[in-house]
Amino acid sequence: MSLITPEFGLLFWQTLIFLLLFLLLAKFAWKPILGSLKEREDSIDEALRMAQNAKLEMQSLKAGNEKLLADARHERDQMLKEGQVIANRLIEQAKTTAVEEASRIAQQAREAIQQEKNQALAEVKNTAAQLSVDIAERVLRRELAEPAAQQNLVDAYLKDIKLN
């Protein structure tokens, strides 16, 4: 016997065992193996479909989020503009109120100054009149210190009365 060439009996038994093993595997093992491979393939396909759906849903959510974010930014900008307008309006109102108040205070001050001026003028007039009366009294006392001068003044008044 040679190591390189097999004998007929060995080939026969090897072929017979191979065919028996093939038939046993075909009857009992191939169907479950192919079934599990098919299941595996189906589960992989399902997982890929689910991943694709999830990817599409994520893109949709991302687009929705970007739209919401853009809307929020727009609303924030709108609120800032409105706040600026309100602040400007309040500033203008405060300025207007301050100008009106300053005008009112200035008018009151003018009126108070005018009243004080009128009071001062009245006081000056009263003082001038009092001084005039005092001066006239002193002049008349000096002029009429003598009884003859008094008599002459009375006579002059009587003449004026008769003439009128």
Would residue 102 count as lying in a domain? Answer: yes
Q: What is the mean pLDDT of residues 135-144?
A: 77
- Whether 80 is in a domain gets the answer yes
Residue 121 to residue 127: CA distance in whole angstroms: 10
Residue 111 within any structural domain of the chain: yes
* Residue 78 included in any domain: yes
pLDDT more than 70, % of the chain? 96
Residue 84 lies in a domain: yes
Residue 45 belongs to some domain of the structure: yes
Answer whether residue 19 is part of any domain.
no
Side chain identity at residue 42, one-letter code: D
Distance from C-alpha of 130 to C-alpha of 164, rounded to nearest angstrom: 30
For the chain, give the percent of residues with pLDDT over 90: 60
Q: DSSP of 18-87, one letter per residue? A: HHHHHHHIIIIIIHHHHHHHHHHHHHHHHHHHHHHHHHHHHHHHHHHHHHHHHHHHHHHHHHHHHHHHHH
Q: Is 11 within the bounds of a domain? A: no
Buried b / exposed e along 119-129 (16+ C-beta atoms within 10 A): eeeeeeeeeee
CA distance 14 to 142: 179
Q: In this structure, are residues 108 and 114 in contact, taking their beta carbons and an 8 Å threshold?
A: no
The CA-to-CA distance between both ends of the chain, in Å, stands at 194
Are the beta carbons of 114 and 106 closer than 8 angstroms? no
Structural domain of residue 112, as residue ranges? 39-159
If one counts the domains in the chain, the total is 1
Q: pLDDT digit string (tens) for 4-51?
A: 777 888 889 999 999 999 999 888 888 888 889 999 999 999 999 999
The residue-averaged pLDDT of 150-160 equals 79
Angle at 96 between CA 94 and CA 102, to 5 degrees: 100
Encode burial over 17-36: b for 16+ CB neighbours within 10 A, e otherwise: eeeeeeeeeeeeeeeeeeee
